[in-house]
Amino acid sequence: MKFRFTSILILMLLPALVHPSTGDLFHQDRQEDKTLGATWRNSNYAIHVGSIYGLPTKLLASFVALFLASLPVTGFLIWWGRRKKAAKAVMRRATLMNQNYSAN
């Protein structure tokens, strides 16, 4: 049986493969047969997309992703607001100083 390069990649990614013409199972990776490190490494994608415990984890992963994506935007807005407030405070101090000097 000849395998192409893509077939080898599919073998590495899928837990079980069936021969296309005969339907026989010719490769299967079971979680019980893997080492602890291989189990953790292979569960990386499931954790990344939030599918490890079903819909609640997907929703949680979506909310966390939205929250983390909003952090740079809100940080910029806070910085921009402080910068404008600082400029206003400098102008206010300058006008107060001018009023104090002109009153004397």
> 47-72: per-residue pLDDT in tens?
877 778 888 888 888 899 999 999 99
How many CB atoms are closer than 10 A to CB 28? 11
Instruction: Give, as one character, the DSSP assignment of residue 25.
Output: E
Structurally, the chain folds into a number of domains equal to: 1
Residue ranges with strand state E in the chain: 16-18, 25-28
Any domain includes 37: no
Closest by CA to 14, choosing from 32, 1, 2, 26, is 26
pTM of model > 0.95? no
CA atoms within 13 A on the CB side of 5: 0
Full residue range of the structural domain in which residue 51 is found:
45-103
Rounded to 5 degrees, what are φ and ψ at 4?
-85, 170
Q: Which residues of the chain have pLDDT under 70?
A: 1-17, 27, 100-104
Any domain includes 5: no
